[in-house]
Every structure is written in structure tokens, then in C-alpha cells.
Structure 1
């Protein structure tokens, strides 16, 4: 199996801002280990060679996910009057409330856009100390967390917010490697699925991380920048 070369490590060290995070090296090496002649990019996202340009972008996106503050930006887009008219004409929203409903809809759409990274940050905050590695930065495809096993293999986890969220293709990983998939909530019932994630993590590490919805809500309140 391939490993990170000295040349690749030198590029990472040069691109990294501040003290090099060893977790990034471990995640990047996981990507290297999935590369084969049949699958020349392995689990790495994108196309083309795994060259200096790709490595530098991977470093930048990883650091951005790790340190960026999450907030909702002022809504600058304008609502579509035809869309509003449809809702009013169908009798679903009154003429009196349509303007405010349209504004609130744009805020909720923006909230959905940051929910995924908030969910991953929350999970990372509770399992990183157990040895799990967050594949931040989206330079690894179809995989959100990995846990290195003593055998040299990995426990691999893909995270989704809802049961009806589209699953990323698992074709990125070499044959014989299973990606465990977990979602936070059932779309049709609104019930939460944290117990399943607690079980997955405990099976790997022997420790229940204690995920629960109320704790996630507290994390959002503390993390979101107003």
C-alpha cells in the first residue's frame, strides 16, 4: 500500500498555516491508501492528478472547515413574486403574511446550507478524543469520519442530516471496504436517530459518546455566530 511521500508531506507543511495538524496527515494518508491502478484517485474528490495544486487546495479547505465561524449572512436576494402569488392563490398563505413568510423562507434555506457542517462539527467535538478523524474540507468523497483500526483498516462513516438526504456514492473506496451510513432524523416522522450513532461509535471504541438532540441544539446555540 502507498503512503504519503516526503514530497507530498513537504507540500502539506509548506501550505499549512501555523503548526501542522497531525490529524490532517492521517486523513490524507487514508486517501492515499485507497488509490490503486483501477481507481487512480481513490477516495479523493475531484478529477486529475493528486498534485501540488490539489494538495494545497485540500489543506486550505480542511483548515477552513476546522476554524471557520458559522453564521447566517444578510439575505440579499429578492423573492419571486410569481412564487408568492402561487402560495397565496392556492390558499396556503394569506396576502397579509406572504411577504414575511417569503423572507423567513430565505432564512431557513440559508440555515439548511450550514446545518451539515454544524452537524459534523458537533459529532467531531465528541468523538475526536476517542481517535475518530473528521474528514473536513470535502477533499475526501463519500466519507465524513474515519477510525483507524489496529489491523491497519478503517471504520468509515458517512453522515446525513435526514433519512431522505441523497447518499454520496461509495464507489470512491476500494473494494471490500464498507461505509457505514447514519442519518440524524427520520424525514417522515421527525424522530431522531442518535441512538444508532451512539451504538456505532461504541462498537468501535467501547465508549458511548452520549449524542442526543438536546445536546446538539445546545451546541448550535453556542457555536453559531450572531
Structure 2
């Protein structure tokens, strides 16, 4: 991505956490659209998201929160939709209605069916009030990935080219890469998903995806 393609918008602030899948999606989206931003970390491990000062910004107490164009935007897919409406290139969803539906369906397999069951607050509830062990929590995590990825692999196999839907990056790819990062962190076998693994490997070589990787973000001391 050349400097000429970057829209200089120094007032854009991303309230972020390096391992948050939803924040990871938004970082990828910002990079793809060439939107410069400043990241400020909300430490989920120390529950900064639950403090009153952050709730004034985002009543849900979630990350990401994006401050842009005088707005405070929440929910990663809604933020990505805003970017797509205000910065046309590259488009995150196809114009063709059937292809658009397919891309949205693949994205939602991750964002609605896998990720919500495996995010930090659910895992903390399992290991806290419900009294499950770390090992049981890990089994839970892998179970829900194992429920979602076979369907996504089958959906992608019908449409994949360089990316999940042909040869243009889309919202589905933005959702895929953080999910596979977290799957690997939790030792989830991925051999059964050759299409997803291939596209993830290629995506991670793309500058916009590479710059968004958790290892390249601010991390807690």
C-alpha cells in the first residue's frame, strides 16, 4: 500500500486489544481502506473495559470502539460496514446480490456462530461462576470452532479463488484470519480445512493483514 493511497485522518482512534478477534477485523479493514488511525489499548485481562470511563464511550464495554468522523462506532461488522460506505475501495462485499449474500453468510459463520461462544467473557463465566477447569474451557473452545469451520470450508470451496469469494478480498476474509489465529492459539487441528488454511496463509502475506496481526500491536507489560 503506497503512501499516496493512505487517507490521512489523524483524529481516527481505535480502542483496541491486540488479541481481540473483533478488533483484529477492524485493524485489517482500516489497513485495507488506507485509513490512518491511532490505537489505544483497552486491557481486557485487567478488565479496563468494565470501568466507568470506558462505559461512557461504549455502554457495552466491548472492543473495538472506533472514533471517526465525529462518531463513536461499535460492533466490528457495523464498523466495517461504515468504512465500506465511506471509503469505496476496496469494497468489502460484492455488488451482485447473490455474491453479496454468500460473502455475508461466510462472515457471519465466524462473527455470529463461532466467535461469540468463545470470547473472553464467555470463557471467564465458564471458568468462574460455572466452575469449569481450564481444560474444560479449552474443550468448549475447540468444540465450537469444530462446529463452524466445516461449514465455512464447504461454503468457501464453492467460491474460493485467491480469496474466499473469487479473487477479491472481502468481509469473509477479514473475519477468517482472526478466527484461524485464535484457533491455532488454542491448538485446534486445522488439517480438515485446506481451503481456509490456504487462503489464510496467503492473506497473512498481504501488507494490510500482516500489519494488523496481534504480534505487531501494543501488548500489556
Tell me which structure has the larger Cα radius of gyration: 1
TM-score above 0.5, yes or no: no
* TM score, norm. by length of structure 2: 0.27
